[in-house]
Structure 1
Amino acid sequence: CRYICDDPGVDLYTLNDASLETDQMTALDTRKPYTELPAAFRYRDDANFKACDVKRYYRRVTELRARTVTPANMRNAIIPLPTAKPDLGTVAAVPGIDAEAPGAAQHLSIEAGERPVRLVGPAFFPAE
């Protein structure tokens, strides 16, 4: 309860039975009755009464529960590991075709009929 209240000096009161009225509450720390508090029942008439932030409490509880959820059997858990990204600055450029490069003239000088080509299978054209 102290977590959801913005005032660190908040006094907390409780009822021993849900059927009791608020005037029968007692302080958690001192066990004094709520009616002895100088500001008792001020929340009923004060337009500027600052209530506790219950939404913040539920957000915090949900966050804490999410942190504690783990599989019962971690032996079969698959945990993906990140892979390193390649350094694009060190990737070599693809070389272009250069007619002046060594071996290029040899490749161009072979005649079409003299190429070493392996023929496999029957002839598909009828004899004339």
Structure 2
Amino acid sequence: MPAASATAWHETHVESLLVRAWSIAHTASGHCLLSNRAGKLRLLVPPSFEGALDEMRTGRSVTIEPSAETPDAMVEIVFEDGSETPFAIAQPRCLIDGTLGRALFVPFTVWTTAGKQMTLRADVLL
């Protein structure tokens, strides 16, 4: 197997394991989980929140920024669609796997228990 194929297989396998482990632990809670591993952001969406996928798909990119109301406890995941009122998720910091720091053009994927739903790029403004 060529090195590029092996790397792609490994990344897909790791993401699949991450989604399976998360689905077992968090599906019942109804909360999304934001994972920051290996320089990639993954938003894991439980079945109870899958109705928001259509709104997420309107975004051309994502901005992750401190919450205006509770910046120490929450971040806003904003799906930038060019409008004045883009779709946003208030994400508790306790449901972020890994550390977040300021970064631009980070790969951002959205996952459900059915697999990867979309790929965008994210700017982290923390």
TM-score by length of 1: 0.18
Higher relative contact order (CA 8 A, sep 6+): 2
TM-score by length of 2: 0.18
Bigger strand share: 2
